[in-house]
Structure 1
């Protein structure tokens, strides 16, 4: 057989080496005047020396963006800051987006004018939502306000920075992320939430308790994640090869594994307290471990928000987040819980340059100059959860490498859990269709199908819906309210 003649080196066309990744990047933060998330990002960036660049802060409240820019630059001057970042408030959104590498989204309407009504009006109809940020009548109203805005963001990203990675933190996270992909199908957008981290932390606590070892870091707890945001489940959990679900079984069997709480015990608790009693109860009933905080789980598992309130909610160690708390949390002068960057800069409150526990900076570093990482993200379903519709946004683990985010196949959910999730997926898809068309009556069909709303007569649900729409009409300008047959039937809405 004749051997193949290799070309001489001088005859071979020389190919250029791949370029090294850029270590200077631009981050655009939409919602850059926010109280909570930007300061966390600034601290994490200051502690990361692998990437550097500029952060453009855009917010409709330009003064808040300016204040955060001042704070971000102040953080850079603190002891221990190794990152190299410049923060600028930008008044024009198009300018902020132009040429950016990463877009971070965390936006919210003024809760005193929106969220407060989302919580209080359903309460008058007997619906005792614990959070109201994702589902239930409160979550549905938030979807109606948010989807048109995120459709607009998707269009703007397509125009000004189509290759940018988009990290969305905004609730309702599933629907906001889905709106971005519906507006711009090629968008590189993911939804990020820290709820699953809390499940890993809980499992790490059990490891330390029952094995008498130093508490492992949450990253050492390997779990298989599947579901939708705030109703995510784990069917495999391991640490050093040990099946951690057997430890959960053991813990539940102990004297303090399952218990009831009183109203008096819960009175002074923070509304974000998590006693894992709902988590363990759902695990006992369905054989798969929920991976979201109890305050979110009770809204999807509506068994827990029926009966006499607050007694029948408090007994599970869960406390309702009140409208008063939401309104005060928005105003730093009225709440100690709200991040006050001015107090830090003026020395009134001690500032510590410590990691936030969020992963946005880890993701950006990995996508640019890093190696690889595995974490949970929200992405359109391309088969990572079998049995749920393709295109619906679901939450699973993903492998992140430079320039790539690939969801990991999580397998199917048990039928009984999948049935619950399917209802919400269908409602999400209906709400996306309704919002893109401005069809208020189609939105009401999704509203009517929500498990919390199903506890009401249809006419009662219609009146609650109409009252919510009438109260928040200012924030629903993208909806065709005048042509709504549902609103025309109601006494609560005056056409």
Structure 2
């Protein structure tokens, strides 16, 4: 409903690639529907039309693949509702609930075995495939691919850093008095982990834009600044829009701006910092019932597109995936922020943990760019999350369910609870995830 259709539109807009796209879904009719929608996008192609087919099995989809793209929903939105609703009863409000905090933790418990299964299938059927993970919690799940297939050539792709690049383009356009620049003209040096990312350098056409950004953030530190998504309706803006007050405040606190959206950034800090008063900080706690209604609307639009009542629109999205693939297939090198195991690209963060920084995509693969080091004590906060994510992944992959509660309890959102409350919440969330966590792991929890 989301990333597949975006990728189809981007492939139709692109003129560099000739793509043979195999779609696989546990829900076979969904894959068939998307193949039909893909064919309608291909009919509008500016280049070589992509070919779409639905595969009957995961091995069939993977055999001989050059590129694998993973976008799944771990469980159902109804499971995600429990991730949100149970912690809310204990005073923990979550704006997203898919990366960290109690919601992100249990989503990871459901999803790590799924990504490990996919990783092993890639090992067996397409061991040299270049693999992009779009699924959250991105850090843990990209790590799961490497745990299942250590030789995998995988990266995690996230569009959150686009937000600060759009802000800088807006600043530059306002100065120029013309819509001269887009986010693609803005270069940033990215440091952190997924959804808890920061930038310490910003340039546009060789100009250092950090002073202009600092002045912009200071001018809007109290009122905030928002930019609507094109085509977004009022309800979407209500639940997904922000005023960037969290990012501006993190700049004040740590000396460099947050690069992800406020709804994600807030979840990495203790409840008292931002989540306890989201209205004050200009963002909402997105309810899962809205996601369910939005899914129904997207299903209706998809059916209209499938049968031809709605025509695909030829336009380039803000996503970088097609540019990354084109570079990997031998096109011009492309620089993008991605999630990869830390091999020294970010000093001070745990070796081997999945971190987010820039990397160069080229015909030889993906090469991380040395990003430097986050300022203290920010580095300590990011490192704490990275260590917890790595330990969570190890515990699930090795079946050490007895280690999970202590990891859950150590999250900044949960630490303020009394031990009895934290244990009760953990046990209720475990029971609510019945059937989606491996039995051996669940018994040891």
Q: Which TM-score bucket, shorter chain as reference?
A: over 0.9
Give the total of aligned pairs.
436
Equivalent residue for 2:278, pick from 287, 310, 313? 313
| Cα distance change of structure 1 residues 120 and 313 upon mapping to structure 2, 3 Å threshold | same
Does the aligned pair in 2 maintain the 1:50–1:369 contact within 8 Å? no
| Cα distance change of structure 1 residues 368 and 213 upon mapping to structure 2, 3 Å threshold | same
For residues 257 and 242 of structure 1, the distance between their equivalents in structure 2, rounded to whole angstroms, comes to 24
Equivalent residue for 1:259, pick from 214, 223, 236? 223
Structure 1 length normalisation: TM-score? 0.84
1:286 aligns with 2:279: no
Post-superposition Cα deviations, 1:214-249, rounded to whole Å, max 9, x if no partner, equal 341212212111100000110111123332221122
| Cα distance change of structure 1 residues 327 and 404 upon mapping to structure 2, 3 Å threshold | same
Aligned residue for 2:161, secondary structure, equals helix
For residues 65 and 218 of structure 2, the distance between their equivalents in structure 1, rounded to whole angstroms, comes to 52
| Cα distance change of structure 1 residues 203 and 51 upon mapping to structure 2, 3 Å threshold | same
For residues 366 and 483 of structure 1, the distance between their equivalents in structure 2, rounded to whole angstroms, comes to 45
1:270 aligns with 2:238: yes
CA drift of 1:434 comes to 1.0
The aligned runs of 1:11-90 (5 Å cut-off) are 35-78=1-44, 80-90=45-55
| Cα distance change of structure 1 residues 208 and 338 upon mapping to structure 2, 3 Å threshold | farther
For residues 418 and 65 of structure 1, the distance between their equivalents in structure 2, rounded to whole angstroms, comes to 42
For residues 406 and 69 of structure 2, the distance between their equivalents in structure 1, rounded to whole angstroms, comes to 32
The aligned runs of 1:354-365 (5 Å cut-off) are 354-365=315-326
CA drift of 1:53 comes to 3.3
Post-superposition Cα deviations, 1:367-389, rounded to whole Å, max 9, x if no partner, equal 11302111111000000001111
Does the aligned pair in 1 maintain the 2:95–2:285 contact within 8 Å? yes
CA drift of 1:436 comes to 0.8
Query: Which range moved further: 404-413 or 147-156?
Result: 147-156
**What's the Cα RMSD here?**
1.9
Does the aligned pair in 2 maintain the 1:36–1:338 contact within 8 Å? no
**Which residue in the other structure is 2:436 paired with?**
475
Aligned residue for 2:350, secondary structure, equals coil
The aligned runs of 1:306-385 (5 Å cut-off) are 306-307=275-276, 312-330=277-295, 332=296, 335=297, 340-349=301-310, 351-385=312-346
For residues 281 and 311 of structure 2, the distance between their equivalents in structure 1, rounded to whole angstroms, comes to 35
For residues 304 and 346 of structure 1, the distance between their equivalents in structure 2, rounded to whole angstroms, comes to 49
The aligned runs of 1:414-429 (5 Å cut-off) are 414-429=375-390
**Which residue in the other structure is 1:391 paired with?**
352
For residues 259 and 418 of structure 1, the distance between their equivalents in structure 2, rounded to whole angstroms, comes to 28
Aligned residue for 1:379, secondary structure, equals strand
For residues 107 and 140 of structure 2, the distance between their equivalents in structure 1, rounded to whole angstroms, comes to 10
Q: What stretches of structure 1 move > 6 A for 4+ residues in a row?
A: none
**Which residue in the other structure is 1:201 paired with?**
166
The aligned runs of 1:148-297 (5 Å cut-off) are 148-254=113-219, 256-259=220-223, 269-297=237-265
Structure number with larger C-alpha Rg: 1
Could you tell me which runs of 5 or more consecutive residues in structure 1 were left unpaired when the two chains were aligned. Answer: 1-34, 485-495
Query: Which range moved further: 369-378 or 321-330?
Result: 321-330
Equivalent residue for 1:116, pick from 66, 81, 106? 81
| Cα distance change of structure 1 residues 85 and 478 upon mapping to structure 2, 3 Å threshold | farther
**Which residue in the other structure is 2:110 paired with?**
145
Does the aligned pair in 2 maintain the 1:260–1:315 contact within 8 Å? no
CA drift of 1:145 comes to 0.6
Structure 2 length normalisation: TM-score? 0.93
Aligned residue for 2:366, secondary structure, equals strand
